[in-house]
C-alpha cells in the first residue's frame, strides 16, 4: 500500500513538472516552484549527520532531490529561494537550541561561507548553487544575524567525484589541501556557517570547515539542505 502511495506521489511530481513547469512540484500551486506547505510536509532529519554539521532534509525525498538537481543542473535558480527560506527558519531554531546565538561579547553575526566550486565548474555552470541558497538566507534575515562571503574560501582545483572513490583513505587524500583562504582577516575570530546543498560522505564539508578553522575562525559549523 505504502509503495503504491509512493508511486502515486512520484507520478504526480513528474506530471506536474511536465505539464506546469512554473508551478509547485509538490502540489501544482501556481507561481512558486516549491511551496511552503509542501516543504513543511517533508520529514526533517532527526540527527545531524556529522559532528557540528546539520542537514535538514533526507536526500531520498524526491521533492527535495529533484529541487536540488534542477537548481544545480537545470539552471532553475528559483529553487534557491524556498530552500534558503527553509534553512533560515531551521538556523534560527538551531542557533537558539544550541545556544550559539551569543558569544562572550553579546550578539553574534554569523558569516555564511558557501562551499566553493572550482573556477572551471563555476564557469560552466555560471553560478554556485550554495551561494544562491546562502543569498536567500541573507534575504530572509531582517535582524542582520547572517552575512555572506563568496570569496574568502576558494577551491584550488577540481577533484575526482568523492562518490567514485570507494576507499575512505583515498577519498580523504583526494581532498587534502583542496580549499584555501584569501583575505584571512575577514574570518579572524568569526562565527562561520559553511553551507552546501548536499552533504554525502561529509568529507568535503569537513575539509572546508577545517580550512576555515585553521585560518583563524572562532566557531565553524556546517549546514546543508540535504543529507
For binding to Zn ion (CB under 5 A), which residues are involved? 24, 26-27, 29, 35, 38
Helix (H, G, I), strand (E, B) or coil at 32: coil
Cβ 110 to Zn ion shortest distance, Å: 29
In the complex with Zn ion, the residue whose CB is nearer, 42 or 221, is 42
Return d(Cα 76, Cα 110) in angstroms, integer. Answer: 27
C-alpha cell at 39: 516543504
Of the pair 26, 222, the CB lying nearest Zn ion is at 26
* Cβ nearer to Zn ion, comparing 39 with 148: 39
The nearest distance, CB 217 to Zn ion, in angstroms, is 38
Tell me the C-alpha distance between 134 and 114, whole Å.
Answer: 7
Q: To the nearest whole angstrom, how small is the minimum distance from the Cβ of residue 1 to Zn ion?
A: 24
- Contact present, 68 and 225 (Cβ < 8 Å): yes
Tally of CB atoms within 10 A around 120: 11
Q: Which is nearer to Zn ion, 17 or 69 (CB)?
A: 17
In the complex with Zn ion, the residue whose CB is nearer, 25 or 191, is 25
Residue 9, classed as helix, strand or coil, is helix
25-63 in b/e form (b: 16+ CB < 10 A) is: bbbbbeebbbbeebbeebeeeeebbbeebbbbbebeebb
Q: Least distance (Å) from Zn ion to the CB of residue 86?
A: 13
Of residues 24 and 187, the one with the C-beta less far from Zn ion:
24
For the bound state, the minimum distance from the C-beta of residue 123 to Zn ion, rounded and expressed in Å, comes to 34
CA 217 to CA 219: how far, in whole Å? Answer: 6
Beta bridge partners of 147: 111
Q: How far is CA 54 from the centre of its chain?
A: 10
Residue 52 beta carbon to Zn ion: minimum distance, rounded to whole angstroms: 32
Amino acid at each position: 500500500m505504502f509503495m503504491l502511495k509512493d508511486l502515486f506521489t512520484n507520478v504526480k511530481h513528474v506530471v506536474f513538472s511536465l505539464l506546469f513547469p512554473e508551478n509547485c512540484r509538490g502540489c501544482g500551486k501556481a507561481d512558486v516552484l516549491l511551496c511552503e506547505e509542501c516543504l513543511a510536509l517533508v520529514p526533517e532529519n532527526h540527527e545531524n549527520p556529522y559532528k557540528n554539521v546539520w542537514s535538514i532534509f533526507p536526500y531520498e525525498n524526491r521533492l527535495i532531490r529533484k529541487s536540488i538537481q534542477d537548481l544545480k543542473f537545470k539552471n532553475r535558480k528559483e529553487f534557491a529561494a524556498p530552500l534558503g527560506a527553509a534553512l533560515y527558519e531551521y538556523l534560527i531554531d538551531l542557533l537558539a537550541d544550541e545556544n550559539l546565538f551569543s558569544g562572550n561579547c553579546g550578539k553574534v553575526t554569523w558569516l555564511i561561507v558557501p562551499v566553493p566550486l572550482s573556477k572551471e565548474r563555476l564557469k560552466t555552470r555560471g553560478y554556485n548553487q550554495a551561494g544562491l541558497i546562502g543569498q536567500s538566507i541573507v534575504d530572509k534575515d531582517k535582524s542582520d544575524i547572517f552575512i555572506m562571503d563568496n570569496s574568502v574560501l576558494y577551491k584550488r582545483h577540481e577533484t575526482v567525484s568523492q562518490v567514485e572513490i570507494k576507499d575512505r583513505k583515498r577519498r580523504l587524500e583526494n581532498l587534502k589541501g583542496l580549499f584555501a583562504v584569501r583575505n584571512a582577516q575577514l574570518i579572524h575570530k568569526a562565527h562561520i556557517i559553511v553551507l552546501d546543498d548536499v552533504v554525502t560522505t561529509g568529507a568535503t564539508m569537513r575539509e572546508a570547515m577545517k580550512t576555515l578553522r585553521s585560518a583563524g575562525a572562532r566557531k565553524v559549523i556546517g549546514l546543508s539542505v540535504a543529507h
